[in-house]
Copies of this chain bind each other. A is one copy, B any other.
């Protein structure tokens, strides 16, 4: 899908296509439509990020609370969104054995209790072994920094979903595996160079996802 097509959409089409780029928050796409025309993926995602950034703290928490637990109730009940099901599937989370599932559910419950929102992670950039490790690590973070980390994950998910919809293809997506990681920030010459300017979350050292470099 090219940007000419995107810019020609009425708001109904636009929300149909981009409404779940932020999980269960079509309000964001519906608001972003006001900002058209968009010059490209980067410009489009900037408007999504700007809208999110401008929300009050309760709105940030609200966005996070619209996300499902990884390998949680919605997966068991078959009520995941198509996008989330695909992402959790790609991370191997839909075929956990019962011990691993129980362990993840326990960690998710501890996380929700500590922070008041669910553990959000760009699952496509992770895997079944790394998810509980990262969850256990983030459980010990301070609430303020954890909120920023979680919003960084929302933005990674948004970027990947937009790239899918715009057919940007894996060439534009793969470098994400390094973007924002501490190691790559320490040594930017390593890994895949990004063909585009770094996305907003790169500036936040709290959004690193070490496990995806393993």
Contacts and interface: CB of A to CB of B under 8 A. Distances in A.
A73 B11 CA distance: 14
B112 A30 contact: no
A33 interface: yes
Interface string A36-67: 00000000000000010011111101111110
Nearest to A72: B12
Give the copy number.
2
Interface string A6-44: 000011100100000000111111111111000000000
Nearest to A67: B30
A119 interface: no
A33 B65 CA distance: 10
A60 to B, nearest CB: 8
Contacts of A63: 27, 30
Nearest to A47: B58
Of residues A25, A29, A51, A116, which shows the largest number of chain B Cβ atoms within 10 Å of its Cβ?
A: A25
Contacts of A179: none
Interface residues on A, range: 20 to 34
B51 A54 contact: no
Contact of A10 (B26, B51, B66, B112): B112
Contacts of A30: 61-66
Given A25-B27, A26-B66, A66-B27, A11 B116 contact: yes
A117 B15 CA distance: 12
A113 B59 CA distance: 30
Contacts of A32: 58, 62
B34 A116 contact: yes
Interface of A: 10-12, 15, 24-35, 51, 54-59, 61-66, 73, 112, 116-117
Closest 8 CB pairs of A and B: A31-B62, A30-B65, A30-B62, A31-B58, A34-B58, A27-B62, A25-B27, A11-B65
10 contacts: A10-B112, A11-B117, A12-B65, A12-B73, A27-B28, A27-B59, A28-B62, A33-B62, A33-B65, A34-B116
